[in-house]
Amino acid sequence: MAKGSTVETITLACQDCKQRNYTTSKNKKSHSGRLELKKYCRFCRTHTVHRETR
């Protein structure tokens, strides 16, 4: 990664079972809030909302 980069790697956790299932990257400058995506959770066996964790 370049020095002073605005892109960071984040972890996404399922809102139902709280398992951390996915990692992705986001630009801190263009998206300052927490990222929420609807993704498949293998523990719940359904599509649920996954939210960025700290």
Q: pTM of this prediction?
A: 0.82
Q: What is the pLDDT of residue 45?
A: 96
d(Cα 34, Cα 1) in Å, to the nearest integer? 22
Q: How many domains does the chain have?
A: 1
Answer yes or no: is pLDDT of 2 > 70: no
Q: Identify the domain containing residue 26 by its residue range.
A: 7-53
Torsion angle (degrees, nearest 10) of CA 28, 29, 33, 36: -60
Q: Does a structural domain hold residue 1?
A: no
Looking at per-residue pLDDT, the higher value among 54 and 3 belongs to: 54
d(Cα 24, Cα 5) in Å, to the nearest integer? 15
**Contact (CB, 8 A) for 37 and 31:** no
Is residue 32 left, alpha or beta, with left meaning phi > 0 and alpha meaning psi from -120 to 50? alpha
Answer yes or no: is pLDDT of 6 > 90: no
Indicate the helix (H) or strand (E) that contains 8. strand 7-14
20-50 pLDDT, tens digit each: 999 999 998 998 899 999 999 999 999 999 9
The CATH number of the domain holding residue 42 is 2.20.28.120
